[in-house]
Each structure stands twice: as C-alpha cells, then as structure tokens.
Chain A
Amino acid sequence: MSRPLLYKFRLYVADDAQNGVLAKINLAAICRAYLPDQHEIEIVDVLVEPNRALKDGIFMTPTLIKLAPSPVRRIVGTLSQTEVVLQAIGLEAVPV
C-alpha cells in the first residue's frame, strides 16, 4: 500500500480574532481525529501578509483552503460543524 494521502491546509486568520482562534482549534481537532499524521496546516495572518490573502482571493477570515488533495476547496467560518467540514474537504468516505 502506498503512503496515505497528505492533506494540506492553509487557514487564513486575522491576528487572534475570536472566530479565527476557534477555527484553528477546530481544524487541529479535526486533523487529530480524522487525519492523524497525514496533514499539514499553515496559518496565515491577513493582517501580517495581506498580499497572500489577495493572491488566494481571500475576502473573509477565517477561511480554510484545502490545497491538497485536489480539488482545492475553501471553507469560511469557525469550522465548528465537524460533519459539514468533513464533507467539504471530501473526508466523509475516509474510515476513522
């Protein structure tokens, strides 16, 4: 069996604004539970790196971008509804 898929996430937040913090926590929890050892998370602060947000077309924070595996998906919000998030990143079929 080949190496399991690596999930690459980029989470755009603004400083320590509450929803962004929640999104960070929720994303970490989801990754720990469903993608152990097969995920990478990059946090980007739009207040520090506005150009990257511009390049990625981010117009709201928190926004999560699933960069890999394709297709690229983006999810806005605190990621508190696990089911919806899993569905959005195409994870519902993955056995826990």
Chain B
Amino acid sequence: MSPIKSLPPVDANDDIASLIETLVETERRLDELTAGEVDTVSGRDGAAFMLRHAQDRLRQSEADKQAAILDSLPAHIALLNNQGLIISVNESWRRFAVANVLHCPGYAVGINYLEICDSAQGDASSEARQVAAGIRAVLNGRKRSFSIEYPCHSPTEQRWFLMTVSPLSEDDPNGAVVMHLNITERKRSEDILRKASSHVIRKQRKKIWVEMGLLVFGTALSFFLAGQFDWFESVTHWVLANELAQLDEAVFASFFLLVGLSVFAYRRWHESQLELTSRWHVHAAMELLHEELDQRVKHRTAELDSSNQALYVEIAERKKSGEALRESEERFSGAFEHAPIGVALVSTEGRWLKVNQALCDLLGYSSAELLARTFQDITAPEDLERDLASMRRTLAGEIGSYQIQKRFIHASGRSMVVLLNVSLVRDSNGHPRYFIKQIQDITDRLAAEEALRKTEGQLRQSQKMEAVGQLAGGVAHDFNNLLTVIIGRAELLEDRADLPEKVLRNIKLIHETGSRAAVLTRQLLQFSRQQILQPRVIDLNALILGMQELLRRLISEDIELTFKLSAKLGKIKADPGQIEQVIMNLVINARDAMPKGGKISIETKCVEFDEKYCATHADATAGPHVMIAVADTGCGMDEKVRARIFEPFFTTKEIGKGTGLGLSTVYGIVKQSGGNIYVHSEVNHGTIFKVYFPEVKERAQAETSAAHLPVPGGGETILLVEDEANIRALLNEILTEKGYTVLVATDGEDAIARSKNHQEKIHLLLTDVVMPKMNGKEVASRLLQDRPDMKVIFMSGYTSDAIVSRGVLDQGIEFLEKPFTSTSVARRVRQVLDSPIAH
C-alpha cells in the first residue's frame, strides 16, 4: 500500500469541508448547551473527545507548569537542539545572562551555544572547548552525559560552576539540556578542608621527626655506655658462659635493664603523647575548619546583610529613579506629542519610528500611515539626494547635525516646503541608533515673504503705473482736444448737402475713426483714474451691447464670449463709463484666468433681495436689484485668494501683467454706485462675479437714440472760454449755427473783460477747465458774482481738483466731456439752458 493512498482523495474535499463545518457547529452547540462547563464528550464506544477550549487550556496549563518548574530551579538551564542552537532557557539562565551579559554572552534563544563555546577567549577558553566537545558527544549519542566544573570568575568574585549536559530524551539525542549550577560555596568549603588537613599532616610529620631523633639518640647513648664498660663483651660472655653471680656484672645488667626499660617507657609515653598530639591536631583542624566556616558564615551573613541593605537602597533608588525616569519619559513624551512643530524619530534607513501629532497634521497623514512609509517616500524627488547626502555625512560622523530646507509631498499630493533639523542619536558604543528630525512647515512663511516681495513689486509697479497714468492723462488731454476738432469738423461737413457722395464717405470715415480714437483716450483716462462720475439712469443691456466690440477685442480668439441678457431688465443709476470699466475689468480678469481658452458669459437679470437675504448679506439692502454676472471657466481661486481679491495691489498675475487695481477699482465703483459685488469660485472650475445695483424706476436717458434726433438751437447768449484756438473756433461755429449769440474769449481774463463790456444778459458760460493763468472754476466764480443767474458748463478731457472732489462732480455743476460731438454740445447746451437754476 503506497503512502499516497492515505491522503484524502481530491473529490472528498467538499465532504471534508462540510464535516468540518458540522464539527465546528457541533462544538459551538455543545459549548452553548453546557455553558462551557464541560471538558470532554464521549460517544457510545466510550472514547472521550476533548473539546477544543479544554484542550487549549490544558495545553497552556501544562506549558505554564513546566515553565514554572524550570523557572523556579536555581540552576541555569537551556535546551539546545541537535545543532546546538538554544531553543529555550529558564528564568535563572535569563537572569544570569542579563547580569553577566558582557562576560558570558549567548543567553538568547536562537543563538548557537556551540559556536559561543568554540569562539570563547580568555581564562576559561580551554574549558569552553571541553564543553563544546562534551555537548557534541552528547548530541552525537557518543556519551550519555557530560559534566565539568569550571571557573567563571566575575571581576568582583571568584566563581565556579558545574556544568552538565544530558540528552533531551533518553533514547534519541535530538537535543540536549545544558545546566549550569553555581558550586562556588562547595568549592570554598572543599578548599578550607584541604587547607586544614594539610596543616595537620604537616604537624604530624614534624612530630615523627622529633620521635625518630629521640630514638636514635637513646640507642646511641646505650651503645656509648655499653662500650664504656665493655658491657657488650661481658653480656656475650655472660650469656654464653651462663655466669650470673658477679656483682659488677649484675650492676651492669641492672643498668642495661634500666636503660632498656627507660627507653621502652619513653617510647610508650611518647607514643601516647604522639597519639594525643595527633588527636589534638585533628581536633584543632576541625576547630579551625569550623572556625573558618563560622567566620565564613558570619562573613557571608554580613555580606548578605550589607548586600540586602544595598538592595533595599537600590530598590528605593530604582523606584525613585524609575519614577524620575517615568516622569521624565512622560515629560518627554508629552513634549514630544504636543510639540507645536513636527518631531519624529527616524531609523538610519529612513523609516519613521515615532511621529508626533503636529507632524501628522503637517503632512496630512495619520500616524499609522506615516509609520508605514519611509521619509524617502514622501520627500519631493528633486530634494531627496540632498537630504540623503546629509544623512550619510551625519552617519559617517562628518557632521553632528544638519539643517536644510526641503520639500515634502503632502498627503493631498501638493508639495510643501519645510525646514528640517536633523540630529543623530548614538548608543554608548557610538553606533548610530536613530535620527531625531524636527520638521517645520515654512510654506506660509515663504508665501508671506513671496507676497511681501510681490507687494513691493506691485507697489513699484503701481507707482510706475501712476506715473504712466499721469503721462497718459496729460497726453490724453491734448489728444482729446485734437480729436474734438477732428470729430467736430467731420460732423459739420457731414451735414453739408453740397458735397459729393465720395467726399462724404471719406468724411464719415474720418468721423468714425476719430470716434474710435476718442474711445481709446477715454480708456486711457479711466486707466489713469482721471475720469469723473456722472451717474445717469442707464439700461445695462444697452450698455453691454455697446461694449461687445470692445470686449471681443480684449479677449483672445480661443475664448468664447456669450451674452445672456434678460429682456425685462430694470434700470440702474450709475456712471455708464464707470460701469463699462467694471465690465471691462471683470472680463479682463476672466480672460487672464483662462490662458488656455474657455468661456466667458455675461448675464443680466432682475433679482429681489428679501429681508432674509439681507440678514445674511450685511451690505445688501432689500428691494429690486439688477444683476450683472461675469462668469468664466478658468482656473478659479482658493479661499485665501478669494478673500483678498478686492484688496488694492493684490494680484495673482505675474509682475507686469496686472496692476492689482482692476478688481479694487471695480469694487470701489460698485460701492460708489450703491451696488454690491459677490464672488463665487471653485479651484479649477471657474469664477463668477455677481454685481448688483439697486433698480431705479426712472426712464433711461438713452443717449444713443437721442443722438439721431435733431437738436433744437436757441437765441441765448453764450460766453465761450477756450484757450485752444481750434476747439474755440469749432464750438463757435457749432453754437452760432444753432442760432446762439456767442461771445468768444481766449482765457479767463479775456472772459472777464468781455463780460464787463457786454451789457446784455449772458445766459450761459461754457468754459474749459484747465487753462493757463486762470482755471475754469475761477472764471466761473468771478463771473457769477456779477451774473448770478448765469448757467455754467465746464468742459474737460479729464478730472481736475478745481471742479471735482473725490472724483464726483460737485452738486449743480454741469460738465461736458471732451471729446464732444456737435450734437452732444448742442444737446448739452440746450439741456442746461432749459434746466431751472440750481444755485
């Protein structure tokens, strides 16, 4: 039968799966029914099936017990596998290893104990080799066990250990148990005993020498005495002759006997003495031993006491320092966590090890997301090498720390500029452990610096513009005078019936071209803000339609301009020129938001502001309003930009592209005209500006339609003051033709003189504002002293402080803007003459 057969057939998979399901469900039900209080269940055959939770707990408790037993043993025990790898150690081993890690490395599970023994150096290296050989012998099955006593002295103490190695299981040496037992105490006792017994032996040896000396001396004395008395010969003789009766001989014999007895007695006595002495010596040795042991015990007790004392102190100290440590750790972690700048610990490879909240906020990642990344991942690629180079130099010890400005990629994908402070923490051996990085977002700071730079640029730019504006204004003034003559003369010629058609066509062309030039000069004046507000009731639709051409010229061809004008649009009261500028500026703004083309739509409609609307829009007033909206499909703007767009000199355009005044001018005009402006914008979707003006019920003064109606003249007397000869002649001709009596003056003094010479009534003063010697306003006020009923019309190409304050004409002052046409002059003159006296 092949072993393959025991594997479940593939087509049984489903069955097995469903059985497992049943098994799991069965166990769950059993647990449920028995409230988890049952360990085993058994079937009809009596075989008990232990439930899973009981198995787990049993296994765990067995493991716990074994571990507890091993851990409670004083011996240091490690289990090795057949390769010599430490697979498990008991608590004593662990403690000893931790305490002696520098002297006896290799405590940790997974370390090869054989290799450590093989590579041991120093005093115990030869024992270590023996140990290695012993372990190998046990692992190979060559030996049942192996043991060795070896010294393992610490710097403070002499220590001995007994090491035993035995196979992990009886029959199969697929591993070994290594046990070290501290036998220092036993060694010491043995040592003392050995010392004591050697002492005894030495003393005994000395006594024996004394004894032998005495014996030799006694014998020698006997021989000497015998020789003296020739007793040897006598004794021999006596013994051989058996003659005992001689006195001398008896005396000698007695002496001999006495000596012999003395020697014998001495010997006996000495022997007993000797015995006593040796007994006494053993006793003394034992006493010595005990004494020494006692002393040792006392010494050890004292040592123990003092070490206990030290331990208590140490524990107290540790507690204290532990508390201090914890406290300082808490303080550190508090400081770390709540630091206002980003702080991180980064591994030497660049992994984030620990990051604080500020950093997470800064980079837009959660702590977990950040820890799953390296700093390289979120560094802007172009800044990476620079940072890595600095890190390498720090790791190499060339520099202690560094500070760089670099870009990170925010979680949202945008790049952000940070100031990075990096220092390296090394362990006590000088090996790099991790970097401490402080990261500060300086995007805002840089933006502020940039903005400041821009503002300065803008200021310079605006100063330049101001200067250009002054120049342009001046040029425009002279230019307007020229255009006035050209347009006026052309107009006069157009009315001549005697001219041939061909000539008339040319004159018409001159007229139109002159008019276009006049529009340009007016724009120049608007640009230099030297125009005057002349609020009138206007039809916004008509005004927009009139601007169509101008607007189309403003935008490029890839921008589509559409109009959506409400047919039932109410009227507003505003300066049409100003409103034109508002629209123009908004369109330019829209154009610049779409460098790649798009759509601009201009919409008008009537809206009613109710109280509710006004409650949420502080500057709105309730009532009907006329709205004009300019929308684009451009880049849009964020909240920050949106909040500042109306600020003077704020621009997002490149230096030289915008004055930063366009929208602030718009805002000023709208406000000045009693309107409101709102902006809605979405980045990348576009912007819409909505301007609201209060609706007025008056009828629009339709200049365009009135222009073609014949203008009535009159017989009144008009004093004309104009320093420019051509305009003076033109006006004189226009007004005379309309039937007026015209008094012509070349300047203020001339006018005053002519007024004095003229006894009749002067109905109207028509004067230029800007003149040498005396300006128009002065002329008017001087003349009005004598002729209070006289009406006044000022003529000018641009504003002048003399007649205008805050850019708006003073109440009651009539104004004729240059360049004018004959029609506009005639109409204006008629209007003013017909109006009631305002002053």
- B-contacting residues, A19-75, CB 8 Å: 19-20, 46-47, 50-51, 53-54, 58-62
| B48/A13 in contact, CB under 8 A | no
- A-contacting residues, B28-87, CB 8 Å: 34-48, 50, 54-55, 57-58, 61-62
Shortest beta-carbon contacts, A-B, top 6: A54-B46, A17-B39, A77-B37, A14-B40, A17-B54, A50-B46
Minimum C-beta distance from A80 to chain B (A): 8
**How would residues 5 to 20 of chain A score, 1 for a CB under 8 Å from any chain B CB and 0 otherwise?**
0000000011111111
| B57/A46 in contact, CB under 8 A | no
| B58/A59 in contact, CB under 8 A | no
Minimum C-beta distance from A79 to chain B (A): 9
| A18/B48 in contact, CB under 8 A | no
Choose one: B34, B43, B45, B54; the contact of A14 (CB below 8 Å).
B54
Residues from chain B with a CB closer than 8 A to the CB of A14 are 39-40, 48, 50, 54
| A50/B48 in contact, CB under 8 A | yes
Minimum C-beta distance from A62 to chain B (A): 6
Residues from chain B with a CB closer than 8 A to the CB of A59 are 41-43
Residues from chain A with a CB closer than 8 A to the CB of B34 are 60, 76-77
Residues from chain B with a CB closer than 8 A to the CB of A50 are 42, 46-48
Most buried by A among B38, B47, B61: B38
Minimum C-beta distance from A13 to chain B (A): 7
In Å, the complex CA distance between A19 and B61 comes to: 12
| A17/B40 in contact, CB under 8 A | yes
Q: A14-B48, A14-B50, A50-B48 are in contact. Are A20 and B39 (CB under 8 A)?
A: yes
Minimum C-beta distance from A17 to chain B (A): 4
| B58/A17 in contact, CB under 8 A | yes
Minimum C-beta distance from B722 to chain A (A): 118
Choose one: A19, A53, A54, A80; the contact of B39 (CB below 8 Å).
A19
Minimum C-beta distance from B492 to chain A (A): 121
In Å, the complex CA distance between A60 and B34 comes to: 10
In Å, the complex CA distance between A54 and B45 comes to: 7
Residues from chain A with a CB closer than 8 A to the CB of B54 are 14, 17-19
Q: A17-B54, A60-B34 are in contact. Are A46 and B61 (CB under 8 A)?
A: no
Residues from chain B with a CB closer than 8 A to the CB of A16 are 58, 61-62
In Å, the complex CA distance between A53 and B57 comes to: 23
- Chosen A-B contacts, 22 in total, with CB atoms closer than 8 Å, are A14-B40, A14-B48, A15-B58, A17-B58, A18-B39, A18-B57, A19-B37, A19-B39, A20-B39, A46-B40, A46-B42, A47-B40, A50-B42, A50-B46, A53-B42, A58-B42, A60-B38, A60-B40, A62-B38, A76-B34, A77-B34, A77-B37
Residues from chain A with a CB closer than 8 A to the CB of B50 are 14, 17
In Å, the complex CA distance between A13 and B41 comes to: 11
Choose one: B35, B41, B45, B46; the contact of A77 (CB below 8 Å).
B35
Residue of B nearest to A53 (CB): B46
| B46/A76 in contact, CB under 8 A | no
**A interface vs B, CB < 8 Å?**
13-20, 46-47, 50-51, 53-54, 58-62, 76-78, 80
Choose one: A15, A19, A53; the contact of B38 (CB below 8 Å).
A19
| B39/A76 in contact, CB under 8 A | no
Residues from chain A with a CB closer than 8 A to the CB of B39 are 13-14, 17-20, 61-62
Residues from chain A with a CB closer than 8 A to the CB of B48 are 14, 46-47, 50, 53, 61
Chain B contact patch, size range: 20 to 34
In Å, the complex CA distance between A61 and B34 comes to: 10
Minimum C-beta distance from B58 to chain A (A): 5
Residues from chain B with a CB closer than 8 A to the CB of A60 are 34, 38, 40-42
Minimum C-beta distance from A77 to chain B (A): 4
Q: A60-B38, A62-B39, A77-B38 are in contact. Are A18 and B61 (CB under 8 A)?
A: yes
In Å, the complex CA distance between A53 and B58 comes to: 20
In Å, the complex CA distance between A20 and B61 comes to: 13
Minimum C-beta distance from A65 to chain B (A): 15
Residues from chain A with a CB closer than 8 A to the CB of B35 are 77
Residue of B nearest to A52 (CB): B46
Minimum C-beta distance from A52 to chain B (A): 9
Minimum C-beta distance from B595 to chain A (A): 78
Residues from chain B with a CB closer than 8 A to the CB of A62 are 37-39
Residue of B nearest to A80 (CB): B37
Residues from chain A with a CB closer than 8 A to the CB of B55 are 17
Residues from chain B with a CB closer than 8 A to the CB of A15 are 58
Minimum C-beta distance from A57 to chain B (A): 10
Residues from chain A with a CB closer than 8 A to the CB of B57 are 17-18
Residue of B nearest to A47 (CB): B48
In Å, the complex CA distance between A80 and B35 comes to: 12
Residues from chain A with a CB closer than 8 A to the CB of B46 are 46, 50-51, 53-54
In Å, the complex CA distance between A46 and B36 comes to: 18
Residues from chain B with a CB closer than 8 A to the CB of A61 are 38-41, 48
Residue of A nearest to B47 (CB): A50
Residues from chain B with a CB closer than 8 A to the CB of A51 are 46
Minimum C-beta distance from B588 to chain A (A): 85
In Å, the complex CA distance between A77 and B41 comes to: 12
12 new A-B contacts, CB < 8 A, other than A13-B39, A50-B48, are A14-B39, A17-B50, A17-B54, A17-B55, A19-B37, A50-B42, A54-B42, A54-B44, A54-B46, A58-B42, A61-B48, A77-B37
Residues from chain A with a CB closer than 8 A to the CB of B43 are 59
In Å, the complex CA distance between A80 and B61 comes to: 20
In Å, the complex CA distance between A58 and B46 comes to: 8
**How would residues 424 to 441 of chain B score, 1 for a CB under 8 Å from any chain A CB and 0 otherwise?**
000000000000000000
In Å, the complex CA distance between A63 and B39 comes to: 10
In Å, the complex CA distance between A26 and B36 comes to: 16
In Å, the complex CA distance between A10 and B34 comes to: 20
Minimum C-beta distance from A75 to chain B (A): 10
In Å, the complex CA distance between A60 and B41 comes to: 4
Minimum C-beta distance from A25 to chain B (A): 13
Residues from chain A with a CB closer than 8 A to the CB of B41 are 59-61
Minimum C-beta distance from B440 to chain A (A): 58
In Å, the complex CA distance between A46 and B51 comes to: 14
In Å, the complex CA distance between A52 and B36 comes to: 24
In Å, the complex CA distance between A18 and B51 comes to: 11
Minimum C-beta distance from B49 to chain A (A): 10
In Å, the complex CA distance between A61 and B58 comes to: 14
In Å, the complex CA distance between A58 and B35 comes to: 18
Residues from chain B with a CB closer than 8 A to the CB of A19 are 36-39, 54
Minimum C-beta distance from B52 to chain A (A): 11
Residues from chain A with a CB closer than 8 A to the CB of B61 are 16, 18
Minimum C-beta distance from A49 to chain B (A): 9
Minimum C-beta distance from B826 to chain A (A): 117
In Å, the complex CA distance between A4 and B192 comes to: 66
Residues from chain A with a CB closer than 8 A to the CB of B58 are 15-18
Minimum C-beta distance from A70 to chain B (A): 25
Residues from chain B with a CB closer than 8 A to the CB of A58 are 42
Minimum C-beta distance from A68 to chain B (A): 24
Residue of B nearest to A62 (CB): B39
Residue of A nearest to B61 (CB): A16
In Å, the complex CA distance between A14 and B46 comes to: 13
Most buried by A among B39, B42, B55, B57: B39
| A76/B37 in contact, CB under 8 A | yes
Residues from chain A with a CB closer than 8 A to the CB of B42 are 46, 50, 53-54, 58-60
**How would residues 4 to 48 of chain B score, 1 for a CB under 8 Å from any chain A CB and 0 otherwise?**
000000000000000000000000000000111111111111111
Minimum C-beta distance from B53 to chain A (A): 8
Minimum C-beta distance from B43 to chain A (A): 7
Residues from chain B with a CB closer than 8 A to the CB of A54 are 42, 44-46
In Å, the complex CA distance between A46 and B41 comes to: 10
In Å, the complex CA distance between A9 and B31 comes to: 25
Residue of A nearest to B36 (CB): A19
- A-contacting residues, B761-790, CB 8 Å: none
Residue of B nearest to A61 (CB): B40
Residue of A nearest to B60 (CB): A18
Residues from chain B with a CB closer than 8 A to the CB of A80 are 37
Residue of A nearest to B37 (CB): A77
In Å, the complex CA distance between A9 and B45 comes to: 24
| A78/B40 in contact, CB under 8 A | no
